[in-house]
Structure 1
Amino acid sequence: MTWSTADIPDLTGRRALVTGATSGLGYETAKVLLERNAEVVLAARNPQKTAEAAVSLTKATGKVPRTVELDLADLASVERAASELAQNYDGLDILVNNAGVMATPYRQTIDGFELQIGTNHLGHFALTGRLMPLLANGRVVTVSSFMHKSAMGLQQADLRQPAANYSKWPQYSKSKLANILFMLELGRRVPQILSVGAHPGYASTHLQAAGPELAGQRLQAKLWAGMNLFAQSAAAGAWPSLYAATQPGLQPGAYVGPSFFEYRGTPKLVHPTRLAQDPALAERLWSWSVEATGIDPALVG
C-alpha cells in the first residue's frame, strides 16, 4: 500500500489529545496532526518537557499546541487531567493513547500497581473512561507493540505483580497484550466510539534505553541507543498511529502496523494474536481494570 502523511485529510475543526507527546512517537504524531490543522493537546508527566515540546512543535509547524499535565502512573493525576480538559474543552475528536514505559526495573505506581501494566494499560483505561463525556462519537487509538505476541496469558495478579515474581520483558508483553484486549473490548462495549489500535514496529525512540537508565545500567542503555541505528525513524514509527487516528473508513477493532513484516514501512492492517482477540479474557481484564481504577468507561458519558 502506498501511503504518506500527505494522504491525511484536512483536520481543521478537529481536536486531538496525544499522551506521551514530549518525544518519540507521541511528538511525531502530534507534529503531523498539527500540520494537518488539528487542534492538539499534549499530555505528559513532566511540565518542563511538555512546555519545551510545545515550543518545538510551534516552531516546526507554525501551530501552537495546548498542554495538560498527566502522570499515567498516578490515578489521581489522571482524574485531575480529565477534569481540567472537561473545564477547557467541549469535545474531543481523537484520543491517542500513546505513552508508555518499557522493560523497567521493578517499580510500583502511586496506587500500588506494577509500573508497566499500571502505566501502559490502567492509566490509559482510566483516562479513556474519564474522557468519555468529551469523546461523544470520537476515535480512540490505543498503541500496542508486536511484543504482545510473546505474552502467554494475563491474570489479575499481574496488575499487582510482586517484586519476587517480576520479569521485565514478560511483564512488558503482558501490558501490550492488555492494550489490544482493552481496545477491542472498548469497541464492543462503547460502539459509538471508534476504537482502533496501532503498533510502530521497530522505531528509533528513547523508550528502549529508558528502562536501563532507570536501573542505572548505563552500558545497556548505550547498547540500546546503538541498536536504534537499525530502526526506522520515530517519524515513520508514528505512521501506524496516524493512519489509525485519521484514515476514513476504518472498522472498529482495526489494528495497524508497518507493512514490511510489521517491522518497518508504510502502515497496513495487521492481526493481533488469537489470545489478544479472546473476548472472554478481554471481559475479565475489563472487570479487573474497573476494580483497579474505580471507573467503567462503558458507564460514563
Structure 2
Amino acid sequence: MLVTGGSGGIGKETAKILLSKNAKVYIAARNATTGAEAVQELAKLTGKTPVFLKVDLVDLKSVKAAAEEFQSKEPKLDVLFNNGGVMFPPWEKTTVDGYDLQFGTNVLGHFYLTKLLPQLTAAAQSSPDGKARVINTSSMGHMVFNPSLDFDTFKDGPARKKLDEKKLYGQSKFGNVVFSNELARRYVNQGIVSISLHPGNIKTDLSRHSSPAERALANWMLYPVSLGVLTQLYAGTTPEALKLSGKYMIPWARVGKAHKATDDPEQAVKLWDWLEEQVKGL
C-alpha cells in the first residue's frame, strides 16, 4: 500500500488501520521531519513500521524521484491511495513548475505518480483476483466551487487571476474525479480499479489556510478523522469495491453521484492528453 499525504490527517489514519491489518505501507509526504515522526508514532501504535517515501507533489522532478525509489524497492503495488492534497492556499502560490498550486498538487502530481508506477499492473497480473486499485480522494467541493475545467487556468496567467482560491480548489477536486474516471476506462483491461471519493467533512490540518473565522465555524461541524478513513478504506480493501471502478463514493462507504459533468468522456480525454503533455520528456 502507498498513501500520499501519509504523515498526517486522513492519510496517517489510513496508514494506521492498514498497518494494524498487517499490510506493508509506504507513507509518502514532502517533509522528512514530520514523516519520520509519523513513522515512529505509527510503529508505536500498531507494532508495525511503515516506510517513509519522500515526495513533493508540487515538484514533478520530486515525483519522478519518489517513483524511481519505490520501483527500486518493490516489484508490485496493490493499492495506491492518492490521498494528499492542498486546499485554499494563498492565491499567488504556484508549483515549482509554474502550475496553479492546487491543480498542480491535487491532479497533475498524482497523475504523474500513478503513471510512473508500473507496479500497479504487475500487482494486478499476480493477484488472485487480477486487480490492483487506485483510490483518488476528491471532495464535495468539486460540486460547490466551480464545477468545471478551464484549461487556461491550470498554469499561472491572466485567466487564473480571475479565479479565487475556492474556485481553484473546486476545479482541482473536479479534476480528481475526471482523472479517476478516465483511468478506470483506459486501464480496465489491465486490471486497474480506479475509484474517486468524498471522504466527508473531516477535521484535519487541510483547512489551515482558511481564515480563523471559517475554521472556528467549521470545527463544530466537522467529523473526526477516524470517520474520514472509512470510505477510502472500503474502496481500497474490500472485495465488494472491486466492482466499483469508475464510481464516486460518499460517506460513509456508499456509492454516490458526482457532478454529472465529470463523466463527460470528451472532457476526460482532453484532460488526460493535457496531463500527458505536461510530463512528456521529464
Same topology, TM > 0.5: yes
Corresponding residue for 1:25? 10
Are residues 1:247 and 2:272 paired? no
The answer to whether the 8 Å contact 2:79/2:236 transfers is yes
Inter-partner Cα distance in structure 1 for 2:281 and 2:268? 16
Corresponding residue for 1:5? none
Structure 1 residue runs of 5 or longer lacking an equivalent are: 1-15, 213-219, 259-265, 297-301
Q: For residue 247 of structure 1, report the CA deviation from its aligned partner.
A: 1.6
Q: Deviations over 1:148-193 (max 9, x none)?
A: 1133321221211436323100110000000000000001111121
Inter-partner Cα distance in structure 1 for 2:205 and 2:216? 7
Corresponding residue for 1:153? 148
Residue pairs, 1:206-245, within 5 angstroms: 206-209=205-208, 211-212=209-210, 220-221=211-212, 223-224=214-215, 227-245=218-236
Q: For residue 226 of structure 1, report the CA deviation from its aligned partner.
A: 5.6
Inter-partner Cα distance in structure 2 for 1:32 and 1:168? 33
Inter-partner Cα distance in structure 2 for 1:63 and 1:113? 37
Q: Partner letter of residue 283 of structure 1?
A: V
Identity of aligned residues (%): 39
Are residues 1:143 and 2:128 paired? no
Q: Partner letter of residue 4 of structure 2?
A: T
The answer to whether the 8 Å contact 1:90/1:134 transfers is no
The answer to whether the 8 Å contact 1:22/1:50 transfers is yes
Length, aligned pairs only: 266
Among residues 269, 272, 282, which one is paired with 1:283 in the alignment?
Answer: 269
Cα gap change, 1:285/1:295 in structure 2, threshold over 3 Å: closer, same or farther?
farther
DSSP 3-state at the match of 2:107: helix
Inter-partner Cα distance in structure 1 for 2:121 and 2:212? 38
DSSP 3-state at the match of 2:17: helix
Residue pairs, 1:175-214, within 5 angstroms: 175-191=172-188, 192-209=191-208, 211-212=209-210
Q: Deviations over 1:194-246 (max 9, x none)?
A: 1111211111111012x24xxxxxxx246415622321101101111111101
Q: Partner letter of residue 142 of structure 1?
A: N
Residue pairs, 1:1-301, within 5 angstroms: 16-106=1-91, 107-136=93-122, 137=124, 138-150=132-144, 151-162=146-157, 164-191=161-188, 192-209=191-208, 211-212=209-210, 220-221=211-212, 223-224=214-215, 227-250=218-241, 251=243, 252-258=245-251, 266-294=252-280
DSSP 3-state at the match of 2:117: helix
Q: Partner letter of residue 90 of structure 1?
A: P
The answer to whether the 8 Å contact 1:200/1:238 transfers is yes
The answer to whether the 8 Å contact 1:126/1:295 transfers is no
DSSP 3-state at the match of 1:242: helix
Inter-partner Cα distance in structure 2 for 1:278 and 1:292? 22
Cα gap change, 1:225/1:22 in structure 2, threshold over 3 Å: closer, same or farther?
farther
Q: Partner letter of residue 155 of structure 1?
A: D
Inter-partner Cα distance in structure 1 for 2:196 and 2:147? 20
Inter-partner Cα distance in structure 1 for 2:121 and 2:109? 17
Inter-partner Cα distance in structure 1 for 2:75 and 2:170? 36
TM-score by structure 1 length?
0.85
Cα gap change, 1:41/1:202 in structure 2, threshold over 3 Å: closer, same or farther?
same
The answer to whether the 8 Å contact 2:3/2:81 transfers is yes
Q: For residue 255 of structure 1, report the CA deviation from its aligned partner.
A: 1.9
Inter-partner Cα distance in structure 2 for 1:246 and 1:236? 16
Inter-partner Cα distance in structure 1 for 2:112 and 2:216? 32
DSSP 3-state at the match of 1:67: strand
Inter-partner Cα distance in structure 2 for 1:66 and 1:131? 17
Inter-partner Cα distance in structure 1 for 2:96 and 2:41? 31
The answer to whether the 8 Å contact 2:74/2:119 transfers is no
Q: RMSD of the TM alignment (CA)?
A: 1.6
